[in-house]
Amino acid sequence: MNPCPQQRPGQQQGSVLLVTMVFLLLFAIVATAVFRGSQTSVLAVGNMQWRTEAINATNEVVANILSDYDGFIHPALTKGMSGPGAPNGVFSSDVNGDGKTDINVNVDGVKCHYEAEVKPEDLDPDRPEDVVCMNSANMAATTFCSEVQFAIELTATDPVSEANVQIEQGVGVRVTGVDVCK
């Protein structure tokens, strides 16, 4: 007796073929899911990079315009924050150092949030901005100086990726004069 019966070629059932096709289909579904998941991760990382570059560009513009008291802070304080001479306009930022503009940063406006008169007891002779206030105090109750806090509103746009970031940066400045936030 033969334990394995012999089958003729015409009598095969095709179960091996069916099982193989099911496993191939399952592997294809898993491979597609993994590919889509990795593609989504790459897009998310790219979006985070573009957003970070836009934020860095706005920080660069804020640093540049705040370092220029006569060109930015003084006109912003004396010309009503949005009048002629105030720091509105578009600045260019070269993120990758190739000499071409990568991100445009628009300074939308400047708003004065807070103003407080500086008292003589708050002055520090080691701070250059306090020396002018000390000269104006003459040991009186007032110094004719103010601590002004204002906000710079910026919008950064990357024309290639269409990333768009709106930032509001607060700045505090000690100035001579009072009632500058009118």
pLDDT in tens, 112-165: 777 788 787 887 878 777 777 776 545 566 677 778 887 888 899 888 888 888
Concatenated DSSP letters of 34-56: HHHHHHHHHHHHHHHHHHHHHHH
Beta-carbon contacts of residue 59 (< 8 Å; ≥ 6 apart): 169
pLDDT score recorded for residue 134: 72
Counting the structural domains of the chain, the total is 1
Q: What is the DSSP letter of 15?
A: H
pLDDT score recorded for residue 85: 45
Classify residue 3: in a domain, yes or no. no
- pLDDT < 70 positions in the chain: 1-12, 68-88, 135-142, 177-182
Classify residue 102: in a domain, yes or no. yes
Classify residue 138: in a domain, yes or no. yes
Residue 42's domain comprises: 21-176
pLDDT score recorded for residue 71: 61
In 3D space, the residue among 48, 41, 58 whose CA is nearest the CA of residue 95 turns out to be 58
pLDDT score recorded for residue 140: 61
Number of H helices, E strands in the chain: 3, 4
Classify residue 131: in a domain, yes or no. yes
pLDDT score recorded for residue 49: 86
Burial of 157 (0-12, 13-18, 19+ CB in 10 A): middle
Q: What is the DSSP letter of 111?
A: E
pLDDT score recorded for residue 139: 54
pLDDT score recorded for residue 44: 85
pLDDT score recorded for residue 23: 93
Classify residue 7: in a domain, yes or no. no
